[in-house]
Amino acid sequence: MSLIDLKYGRSSIQLEYDDDVFTVVRSRETSEPLSDAEIGDRLDHPIDSKTVEQITAPGDRILLVVPDATRQSGSGQIVNLAVRRLIANGSAPSDINIIFATGIHRAVTEAEKQDLVTPFIAQRIRCIDHNANDTIRNFRVGETASGIPVELNWRLTEYDHIILIGSVTFHYFAGFTGGRKLICPGLASASTIAATHALAFDCETKDRRNGVGTALLDGNPVNDAFIEAAAFAKPSFAISTIVNDVGEVCYVICGNWISSHRAACEKYLVEHSIILNEKKDIVIASCGGYPLDINMIQAHKALEAASHACKDNGTIVLLAECTDGLGRDDFLDWFQHGSAGALVGKLCENYKVNGQTAWSLLKKTERFNVEIVTSLPSESVSKMGMTKITNVDQAVKRAQANNQTGIILPAASKIIMNVKSVS
C-alpha cells in the first residue's frame, strides 16, 4: 500500500491506495522554480520582439495586464521584476498601472491583489479593476471578420504600451489559457465575451464546433476570435509563464504577444500530455488545490481531463473544495432542464457563457458516475448530477474489492489524456 497527499483547496487529503490497482499520473514538467536572475535572462531574450527596455521610453504610459485569482501564474514575481526593470529604464511609477483581467469573473479582493502582484507593488503601483458589465467603460473598437462586435475596456486606449503577463495551461475549448485571453475575454465586455465563447458550440450538431477543444489552437474558431479581438488593443509585449504544482514560476517565454504565447503553449503541451494504454474503471482526480478548485466552474476543467481517462459508466471521484461556491449565482439554473439534451435547446435559444459549461458538466455526469468531495451543499451537487461524498477511501476500497483498474490524477486540470489501446 502507498500514500499520497491530494490537494484540496488550501489543504490536502491523504489517500492510501494499492499500487496494483491504481497508477498515479503526473505531468513531466520542470518543477524547480526559476530565480529572479534566471527570469531576467529570459526577459533579455524575447521571441520576435525587442526587449521591454527597448520598446518603452521614459514618459510612456504602460499598462500591465495580469490574471485574476482563478489562475496560478506566478504573476507576483513577474510583475515585481517587470516593474523594477521599467523603473530602472526611466519609467516613473505613476506611469505604470496594473489591470486585472477578470472577464465575467467576480472582482479581485484586496487580499488577492496582494497575492497577485505582491504587497510591495500593490502599495506603489495603481491597480485597476475591470467590469465586463459596465456598458459605459467598455466601448466598441471594431469587429471580427465574422462580424462579432468587439467591446474592450476603455483604459486600453489610454496607454502607449500594453504588456500581457499570464500563465499557460490547458483550456477545454480555447485550447490554452494566457496570451490573447488576457484581453479577450479578460478585458472585454460581457456581450463580446458571450459572442466569442458561443463560437465553441454548434447548434446544428448540438455539440462542440469542429476545431474546438483542449490544446487546439489551429483552426479553433474561439482562439481565432480571441486573437482578432485582442489585436485591437495592440499589445506591445507578452510574458507567459508555466508554473509548478505550488504556483512557482518554472518556465518563462516572452516577446511578441502571438508567437511567444504559441511557443509557451507548445512547451506546455509536450510536458503535460499523458498517454494511457487503456481507460480505467475509476479515476480519482484532484483539481490541484486552490485556486484551481476555487469554484465549480473552474473545477470542471479537472473533470474534463479526468473524463478522457475513464471508461463509459465508470466512476470519477473529483476533489474540489469550491470555497467560492459555483462561480456564478445563475449557474445552477441551467440544470433545471433535467438533461444535457434539453439544456442544449435552451442554450441555443439564448446563449450564455456558463450555460456551455453546465452542458459540458452535465454530459459527463450522464456518462459517468461522478462523486465529489466538496464544500458545496449536497442539494446543489445532486442537481448537477453528482453525488457528494466525504470519504475518498470508500471509493478506493470499493475499486480494490471489485478488482477494478484505477488512476490517480494529483493535478488533473494541468494534463491532457490521450488513450491508445494496445493491440
What is residue 422's predicted lDDT score, i.e. its pLDDT? 44
CA–CA gap between residue 393 and residue 397 (Å, rounded): 6
CA–CA gap between residue 238 and residue 101 (Å, rounded): 14
What is residue 395's predicted lDDT score, i.e. its pLDDT? 87
CA–CA gap between residue 197 and residue 352 (Å, rounded): 9
Alpha helix (H) residue ranges in 97-241: 110-117, 119-124, 190-197, 221-231
CA–CA gap between residue 142 and residue 397 (Å, rounded): 57
- Of 185, 222, 201, 193, the C-alpha closest to 347 is 201
What is residue 421's predicted lDDT score, i.e. its pLDDT? 57
Q: pLDDT tens string for the chain (423 positions)?
A: 899 999 999 999 999 998 888 999 988 766 899 999 999 999 999 999 999 999 999 999 999 999 998 888 999 999 999 999 999 999 999 999 999 999 999 999 999 999 999 999 999 999 999 999 999 999 999 999 999 999 999 999 999 999 999 999 999 999 999 999 999 999 999 999 999 999 999 999 989 999 999 999 999 999 999 999 999 999 999 999 999 988 999 999 999 999 999 999 999 999 999 998 899 999 999 999 999 999 999 999 999 999 999 999 999 999 999 999 999 888 999 999 889 989 988 888 888 888 999 999 999 999 999 999 999 999 999 999 999 999 899 888 888 888 899 999 999 999 998 887 543
Q: Could you tell me how far CA 315 lies from the centroid of its own chain?
A: 24
CA dihedral 368, 337, 303, 21 (to 10 degrees): -20
In sequence order, what are the beta bridge partners of 408?
24, 284
- Of 86, 84, 77, 96, the C-alpha closest to 38 is 77
The SS3 assignment for 94 reads: helix
CA–CA gap between residue 199 and residue 411 (Å, rounded): 28
Would you list the domain boundaries of the chain? 2-27+277-419, 36-270
Identify the CATH homologous superfamily for domain 2-27+277-419.
Answer: LarA, C-terminal domain (3.90.226.30)
What is residue 423's predicted lDDT score, i.e. its pLDDT? 38
| CATH class name, domain 36-270 | alpha beta
Q: What is the pTM of this model?
A: 0.93
What is residue 329's predicted lDDT score, i.e. its pLDDT? 87
DSSP secondary structure code for residue 348 in this structure = H
The SS3 assignment for 372 reads: strand
